[in-house]
Amino acid sequence: MDDLEQALRRYKAATRFSLMSVAEVLPDFGVVLDEMMGAGRSVLLADIDLAGVAEPGATCACRYFEAEGFSMSTGLVIGIDRPTAVDLVQDLTLRYGSALMTPEGLGRCDRSEMVRRVLRVCLQRCALSRLAAR
């Protein structure tokens, strides 16, 4: 295995999944996202497609990785209405507490459960809103 492949595996293993708020859109490059849970960090995310549709203040669930100061989505960015995002942050904070503060704070099983929980809520709320719109 060459150095590049080892680095990519290391970065992939260090992916983060978080609820984010769009702070700034950088056309033809990406977005600046503020984490809504955990340490509340800001992340400059290289994602040209997201920059084309994101609006400041929008909220989303996002999986991304950081490599030597460079952040990039892994292709999973789901828009969430702000009230749902706030509810999820409160629920996850109660469930996982201070473990959300660091990327290594949650074990692999807990991270997977957190992602499943967020995706389940997003899909349920989306389905309910579409039914209500009929």
The model's pLDDT over 37-50, given as tens digits with 9 standing for 90+, comes to: 876 788 899 889 99
- CA-to-CA distance for 102 and 4, rounded, in angstroms? 26
What are the sequence ranges of the domains in the chain? 3-133
Cα–Cα distance measured from residue 71 to residue 18, given in angstroms and rounded to the nearest whole number: 13
Indicate the average pLDDT of the chain. 82
- Residue scoring higher pLDDT (102 or 98): 98
Strand segments (E) across the chain: 16-26, 30-35, 42-46, 59-67, 70-80
Strands 59-67 and 42-46: unpaired
**pTM score of the predicted model:** 0.78
Query: Cα dist. 3→9, 10, 45 in Å?
Result: 10, 11, 24
CATH number of 3-133: 2.40.50.140
What's the pLDDT tens digit per position in 50-87? 999 999 999 998 888 877 777 888 777 888 889 989 99
Whole-angstrom distance, CA of residue 107 vs CA of residue 86: 23
Residue 129 pLDDT greater than 60, yes or no? no
The residues near 11 (Cβ < 8 Å, ≥ 6 apart) are 65, 66, 67
Does the structure show a pLDDT above 70 at 122?
Answer: yes
